[in-house]
Structure 1
Amino acid sequence: MKRIYIYVLFILVGIGTACSNFDNINTDQEATNKVTSPMIATRIILNLTKQPTQKGFLQPYMLNKNIVWTEFVESYQYNGFGSVSLSFTSINDAHFMPKFATSEKLAKSYEGLMYFARAVKFFEATMDLGDIPYHDALKGEEEKLYFPKYDTQKEVLLGILRELELADNAFSEGDQFEGDPIYGGNIQKWRQLVNSYTLHVLLQVSKKESDIDLNIKDRFQKIVTNKPVFTSNSDSYQLTHADKNGQQYPFYKVGNSFTIYPILSSEVVDRLKDRRDRRVFYYAHPSPVRLKNGSTQSDFEAYVGIDPSLIYDNILDIKNTNDYSRLNNRYTEIATGEPTQKLAYAQFCFIIAEAAVRGWVNESALDWCQKGTRASMEFIYANTPNDIQYHHGMPLDKAYVDNYVSAMTLPAGVEKQLEEVVTQKYLASFLHSSFNTYYDYRRTGYPKWKINEASSLNSEAPTKVPVRWRYSAN
């Protein structure tokens, strides 16, 4: 019996030791077991800025008429909208950032980020759907409020503008913080972004200029006059890519089977060619047929876009001729690509230009239009290798940019000026800013995209682009 007891004792001791060893072996000694403010901040910022990859990356630009998709009929290209889900899970723990901060000033910085992230997510949702839950949203965990009421879009916008103001105030009292992959925690940069983004929000509701509660014009003037805003390309709200798994440019060729499908839209190519704008050489690749027939890659006429409103079978017929321009190699061959912009300094310049045309600010619309065009060209030049395969012998060097910008003019008349400013903003936003150029088109009608009743998937109004998505069934 004693032997049995001894064996049992050995077994029990062995089990205890084994459990202890198991815990030690399977515990990452370098990993934290505590959630921190920087950890939440990084996740939230990347959620706001990171783009889908491969085909998902290009889908907004089918609606924006940047590209034509040739794999099969794509609903966005033909103005067919489905439903969109309504989810704010990416910011449901944003309020923990200031709570977990290690100082009062850091708490203010993370509070600013919390307000900004909330404003962005609610703004994107209301831009897509209109009325959405706002005041009662995100109260399921603490208040067990699982069925929040829907607020009117005006109520949502007033809340968003208030949260952006709170974000600016919080950042102004904060300190440089960790966990920021965009600006390295620089609170001055964040203040510039918050206020520039506020101008973007105000412009997107330009049709409500007379609304007393929104007070758009006065809010706009006060920010431009008194608040820090973007001043150069270095301020742009953008994500820079790296040649690492999961961090590469969203349409990079490795593992991407969709590179053969996008073709440049005539909505972009023709407008660039009409303006003798060298950005077409960076956006597109020359038509093989035009090169074979004697054009050089430095000729504007070597670049051919396809009308995205054509019936799909007609698009395939053109594709079979090989007489079209595909995407420039820089979008598929360079792992780091160019930074993907959510709100660029160039777009900010066109926001000011449009506000000037509308009489909201005492600024020169032409000056700001020139600044926006220059910023766009300099951004492309700075983020593209000086290689002939990417600029086709027509680089956006300083001499060209200076000459092009100095020759720019605006037509007479408010409506014509609005059309030119919004069109220039459109050309500067190629494969950037997701659905923003669609939002500009929705409120202004510019650029004047071709709409073909024969190919339209908008069955309710085939001569129009839909003004919002449908609510999800659940």
Structure 2
Amino acid sequence: MKNIFKIMLLALPVLGLTSCDKGFDELNVNKTAATAINPVFTLNNALINASFPSGTVQYEIGVVQQMVSPNSGVLTGANFNQDNRDGTSQVWQRFYRSVVRNTADVINATKATPARSNLYNMARIWQAHAFMVLTDTYGDIPYTEAGVGYISQIILPKYDTQQTVYAGIIKELTEATAALDATKTIETADVLYGGDVAKWKKFGNSLLLRAGMRLSKVDAAQAQQVVTKAIAGGLIVSNADNAVIRHDANYTNGLGQMLNSTEAANFYMSAPFVDYLKTTNDPRLKSIAVRYVGASSGPEQTAARASTDPSIQIGMPFGYDNNSISGPVKAANLKSFYDFTQVDRTRMVKTQSPMFIVTYAQTQLLLAEAAQRGWTTGSVETYYNNGVRAHMEQLASYDANSAVPAAAIDAYLVANPFVSASALEQINTQYWVASFLNGPETFANFRRSGFPKLTPNPFPGKSIKGDFIKRLTYPNSEISINSTNVKEAIARMGADDLDTKVWWDK
């Protein structure tokens, strides 16, 4: 009996421990935490983060001579034709970390779910856009193994040739756009088009048109085939179809954020851009530009000094630093370099300004070029006029005070008529204007078309051998961590510098 009593005493702690463990797993589960994310919200993350980062002002927008800064240090870039990898890496980091990764997650989560086929194909289209921006900017990039670190544990992806990437982009855009189906689930939470299948189709085909035109120098026959396919599928037909990222207090415009804070007084509209708009009496200059007349410092750039009068706008020339710029300042009879014209940060580049990705204006101008090349039917002049008019009308989306009056648009087209003898130059120079603030696209089309005709930046301390920057350099993080694959890409493509041309830039 005594032994039985001892055994019972020894068993009590064990029983107590068992009773304490009961319900332990359930107790430690947060019943209010999400256990799964609706993949449409992951796509929204990818959509919002495709809004271009501030570094595009430093490089892409600078290369095409639309904006310039005389300051070096962290702002070194196209203004000096020098390599600054803190600036060149911004598109890479933003797009791989927040666009490619998220679209890959959506594609993985929906590919075997027929009910979400529209979401699956929307993600494919948006991912194709991201890869187009990346390969146009850098050349050879991770593509087939990109964005699958969490899915397939590939953390050191190989680099694919740009030709391979473009083949994939064209395939994805063609298949995904055709597969969109208005009879399937409509993804109304999508922040780009609210799940509107017809608009997504037009967007996908307009991207396909852009991809086809990108091949015009490297493979004209394939370019024509892709362009024909895109047109047959149906393109963006008005500004209501524009692919545009809307910003708010939580998701701000990166360009506007920079130009309204740390660099508010450090970037200026360039002389080539301002002079072109002034020479043609373009009403868009009044919509875009402001000059703080007589400002001798950043703090003196006040509303009282602000003028949007096109006749007094003065763009800053290229080729000067913050010391040598004193020469042009004196020659123009300005108070200081703070007296040059800027993009109006109270209208065009507010922190909540929209970011246009693919537009009706761009699409019409590409159609004009395709028609000029004989790749499609229709009037080149009509496409051209439609494109110019569409961009002027688009400016009202930035701010009511940026709206261009209809009469001013009509007058401009009469005073600056389409001339077939200089069609390609005229079309692509207008594309330069119509793509303002979309640095990656303006940079790509400038290299592809050779227009507008710009005078090379004469800065004496440039590091490039040629006249213009041809691509941006890889991030230092890739070189140090994914070095084997980077080295293979460099050996195949050419030096990792600003002079090496991308595949389609012949």
Range of TM-score over shorter length: 0.7 to 0.9
Report if aligned partners of 2:243, 2:358 keep a CA contact under 8 Å in 1: yes
Instruction: Tell me the secondary structure at the aligned position of residue 200 of structure 1.
Output: helix
Aligned mate of 1:307, from 309, 312, 317: 317
Give the alignment partner of residue 241 of structure 2, picking from 235, 238, 244: 235
Equivalent residue in structure 2 for 1:43, among 45, 52, 55: 45
Q: State the match for 2:390 in structure 1.
A: 375
TM-score normalised over the length of structure 1: 0.81
Q: Could you say if the C-alpha distance between residues 278 and 379 of structure 1 is closer, same or farther in structure 2, counting changes exceeding 3 Å?
A: same
User: In 2, distance between residues paired with 1:56 and 1:380?
Assistant: 20
Alignment pair present for 1:330 and 2:346: yes
- Alignment deviations for residues 251-298 of structure 1 (CA, whole Å, 9 cap, x no partner): 1589712211111111111001111011111211136159xxxxx957
Tell me: CA distance 1:267–1:377, structure 2 relative to 1, closer, same or farther (3 Å). same
> Displacement of 1:371 after TM fit?
0.9
Shift in CA distance, 301/139, structure 1 to aligned 2, threshold 3 Å: closer
Quick one: structure 1 residues 149 and 257, their matched pair in 2 at CA, closer, same or farther if it must change by over 3 Å? closer
CA distance in 1, matches of 2:323, 2:236: 45
- Do the aligned partners of residues 364 and 140 (structure 1) sit closer, same or farther apart at CA in structure 2, a change above 3 Å counting? same
TM-score, structure 2 normalization:
0.76
Q: What's the secondary structure of 1:122's corresponding residue?
A: helix
SS class of match (2:198): helix
CA–CA separation in structure 2 for the residues paired with 1:355 and 1:135 = 30
Decide which of 348, 355, 371 is 1:356's aligned counterpart.
371
1:52 deviation in Å?
Answer: 2.5
1:171-190 residue pairs with structure 2 within 5 A? Answer: 171-172=180-181, 174-190=184-200
Cα contact 2:124–2:176 (8 A) shared by 1: yes
CA contact (8 A) 2:52 2:254 kept: no
Look up the SS of the partner of 1:435 in the other structure.
Answer: helix
| Structure 2: gaps (5+ residues) | 1-9, 296-305, 330-334, 484-506
Q: Tell me which amino acid in the other structure corresponds to 2:227.
A: F
How has the CA–CA distance of structure 1 residues 132 and 382 changed in structure 2, closer, same or farther, with 3 Å as cutoff?
Answer: closer
Compute the displacement of 1:131 (Å): 2.7
- Paired residue secondary structure (2:256): coil
Contact 2:348 2:398 in 1 (8 A): no
User: 1:255-334 counterparts in 2 under 5 A?
Assistant: 256-286=261-291, 288-289=293-294, 297=307, 299-317=309-327, 318=329, 320=336, 323-331=339-347, 334=350
Partner residue, 2:502: none
- Name the counterpart of 2:404: 396
Structure 1 window deviating more from structure 2 (170-179 vs 137-146): it is 137-146
Alpha-carbon distance in 1 for matches of 2:308, 2:254:
26
Work out the number of aligned pairs and report it. 447
Amino acid at match of 2:218: K
CA-based RMSD of the aligned residues comes to 3.9
How much does 1:136 deviate?
4.5
Residue 171 of structure 2 aligns with which residue? 162
Per-residue Cα deviation, 1:144-177 (whole angstroms, up to 9, x for no partner): 6555544332222112111111111221364311
Which residue in 1 is equivalent to 2:473?
Answer: 470
Q: Which amino acid aligns with 2:411?
A: N
* Residue 209 in structure 1 maps to residue 209 in structure 2: no
Structure 1 170/438 Cα, relative in aligned 2: closer, same or farther at 3 Å? Answer: same
What letter is aligned with 1:384? D
Identity over aligned pairs, percent: 23
Amino acid at match of 1:302: I
- C-alpha deviation, 1:332, in angstroms: 7.6
Q: Within 1, Cα distance between the matches of 2:349 and 2:31?
A: 37
- Give, in whole Å, the separation in 2 of the partners of 1:271 and 1:455: 25
Equivalents in 2 of 1:377, 1:465: separation in Å? Answer: 29
